[in-house]
Amino acid sequence: MDTGQQRRARLGSAWPWISTVARLGLATVFLVAGGTKVGDLAASGRAVNAYDLMPYDVAKIVGAAQPFLEIALGLLLLIGLAVRLSAGIGAVLLVIFIAGIASAWARGLQIDCGCFSKGGELGAGKVPTYGWEILRDLGFLVLAGILLVKPRTRFSLDGLLMGEVEQ
């Protein structure tokens, strides 16, 4: 017989695996996002500037720091160090990105979000895809949310340091 208790126990043992998938997925997202921008920091600064939310000198610094921050966060998630904190910081970044895109949308700016590219303003005849970009970022936010609630994952440095026995 399949009692409720057994079902809960099975779900309980599945969580570390679900969280592991979420962790590796979010790690990939940040590594790819940072990797596509890190080769041209000036272009990354211009992409931030295209949002028209801060002075150019500030945008340049943000644009230069952001790819490295994303790659570092991706690596931390990949090895699974302080997963809850890393996921929390990732969630904060995603919320900032979503707010930025929404604000560009609301102001009718014609820009590429620069999420997985160096961004900038869109060429004529190209339609911004803000709705999809926000939806996609919300999907990533769900991954971060899973890790915030259930930070215990398999193959993580956290598990190793805590001295947890893998079951």
Partner 1 sequence: MSKQGRDRSRAQRIVEQQKAAERRRKVTLWTTIGVVLVLVAAGLTGWAISANQSSATAGKVVVPPTSVDNGTAFAVGDGPVIVDLYEDFMCPICHEFETASGPTLQQLAAAHKVTLRYHPISILDRASNGTEYSTRSAGAAAAAAVGGKFIEYHDVLYANQPEENSDGLTNAKLIDLGKSVGLTSDTFASAVNDKTYDAWVTQVTDTAAANGVNSTPTVKVAGKAVTDPNGGPPSPATLTTAVTAAAG
> Among the candidate windows 4-12, 25-33, 61-69, 136-144, which touches partner 1 by CB under 8 A?
61-69
How many residues lie near partner 1 (CB under 8 A)?
Answer: 45
**From residue 17, how far is each of 24, 37, 147 by CA, in Å?**
11, 31, 11
Nearest to 118 by CA among 54, 4, 38: 38
Q: Which stretch binds partner 1 (CB under 8 A): 6-14, 15-23, 60-68, 97-105?
A: 60-68
Q: How far is the CB of 22 from partner 1 (least distance, A)?
A: 18
Query: Under a CB-based contact definition with an 8 Å cutoff, are residues 68 and 34 in contact?
Result: yes
Which two three-digit tokens encode residue 2? 């399949």
Residues 11-50 binding partner 1 (CB under 8 A) are: 39-43, 45-46, 49-50
Using CB under 8 A, pick the residue from 86, 97, 104, 143 that binds partner 1: 86
Q: What's the start-to-end Cα distance of the chain, in Å?
A: 24
Kindly write out the interface string for residues 113-152 of this chain, putting x where it contacts partner 1 by CB under 8 A and - elsewhere.
Answer: ----xx-xxxxxx---------------------------
Q: Minimum distance from CB of 135 to partner 1 (Å)? A: 24
HSE-CB at 138 with a 13 A cutoff on CA atoms is: 8
Interface with partner 1, residue 58, by CB under 8 A: no
Please spell the DSSP secondary structure of 92-130, one letter per residue: HHHHHHHHHHHHHHHTT--EE--SSS--EEPPTTPPP-H
Question: Could you tell me which of 105, 111, 158, 159 has the C-alpha nearest to residue 134?
Answer: 105
Return the number of the residue (68 or 139) whose C-beta is nearest partner 1: 68
Closer to partner 1 by CB, 23 or 46: give it. 46
Which residues contact partner 1 by CB under 8 A?
39-43, 45-46, 49-50, 52, 56-57, 60-61, 63-69, 71-73, 76, 81-82, 85-86, 89, 110-111, 117-118, 120-125, 157-158, 161-163
